[in-house]
Amino acid sequence: MAKQVLELLPEELIQSILDLGEKKFRAKQILNWIYLKKITNFAEMTSLSETLRLKLQNQFYTTLPTVIQRSISIDGTKKYLLSLSDESKIEMVLIPNGKKNTLCISSQVGCARNCQFCATAKLGLKRNLETYEITSQVFLAIQELGEDKLTNIVFMGMGEPLDNFDNVIKAIRILQDDLCFNFSPRRITLSTSGVIPQIAKLADTGIKMKLAVSLNSAIQTKREIIMPISTTYSISELKKTLIDFRRKTSYRITFEYVMIKDFNIGNEDVKALLRFLGDISCKLNVIKWNEVDDLPYKTPSDKEIEKFINSMSVLSSAITYRKSRGADIDAACGQLAAKYIHNVKE
């Protein structure tokens, strides 16, 4: 059975090349063509013999997802609707910011976690993405950027990354490997709704990356309303797990807090959040809720946002107000898949 090269770690490709009766250095030549020269067609790898190129075409493939729609925001953000080999659809988002270009990638087709403020939850979970379907998004983004550099990758698209643990972790290893994408661990962020067993497992892998936790309320009963995962994994359990995670890892944890009008930005919410974060080495990113059709929530006013942020200013940790990007094309936080379920025929 043919192997997808974008799913292979260098040592796996090397072994496959040795199994073909070829020398080890041929694998590095192939990796150089793919990851440095961005050539995925074996026929174009002219430093390889014609015999080897024919072998490779029989043993491997490098098919990428098909871009079926590009949407460009007034702020320069680009959203891509991708079709996979089984015609499943996912979305990825490229966010330019000065010299930085951040790619928001998906890890699942849909999502099972059913967060009530998120458009992807409407889809339910269709399936996990394969490792190559994750790395392929990065490859596509690099192609799209051309001369510009992709600087950051965030697992904040469709799906709960830790529900697709093995494939996501392998993808991150490929993204970080010197012979592949060669991304620095500090340039990769994985966002989770709080899957406690997998957070603990992640800490024990030894793999380095930044962890972001979608919190959205530090009050157990409120978090249960908007994030059903909290009925399985309580806030108190989550905090204990994250403190242990922080002891084992290099980077501060980032907490993401979506501000929802008349729900999670009142005085009691501020007090609960200060208590929760007070003894954790962390950063806090706050972002206003982005409207999604058919959901009952509202976006707070600028004055309400300012009041909430000012109330949190006593926190010793860094607080960042992350302004929404790409909201006009439904590419902002929580909006992915909001429209394609209506506009794209399955």
Q: Say if residues 238 and 244 touch (Cβ distance below 8 Å).
A: no
Using DSSP's 3-state secondary structure scheme, residue 256 falls into strand
Tally of CB atoms within 10 A around 305: 18
Question: Phi, psi at residue 281, to the nearest 5°?
Answer: -75, 105
Residue 111 bears catalytic tag? no
Look at residues 321, 298, 295, 241 and name the one whose alpha carbon lies nearest to residue 115: 295
The CA dihedral of 72, 300, 238, 191, to the nearest 10 degrees, is: 10
- 156 Cα distance to chain centroid: 4
**DSSP secondary structure letters along 185-248:** GGGEEEEES--HHHHHHHHHH----EEEEE-S-SSHHHHHHH-THHHHS-HHHHHHHHHHHHHH
Residue ranges in the chain assigned as alpha helix (H): 10-19, 24-31, 50-59, 131-145, 165-176, 196-205, 220-226, 229-232, 235-248, 267-277, 302-311, 340-343
Measured between alpha carbons, how far is 82 from 118 in angstroms, rounded to an integer? 20
Active-site residue flag, 333: yes
Q: Is 318 exposed, middle or buried (0-12, 13-18, 19+ CB in 10 A)?
A: exposed
- Give every CB contact of residue 303 below 8 A, 6+ residues apart in sequence: none
* Nearest alpha-carbon partner for 272 in 342, 222, 234, 225: 222
Q: Which residues pair with 83 in a beta bridge?
A: 66, 89
Could you give the CA distance from residue 244 to residue 223 in angstroms, rounded to a whole number?
A: 22
Structure tokens at 155: 């697992």
Which of 91, 130, 133, 160 is an active site residue?
Answer: 91
User: Length of the chain, please?
Assistant: 346
Q: Which residues are catalytic?
A: 91, 333
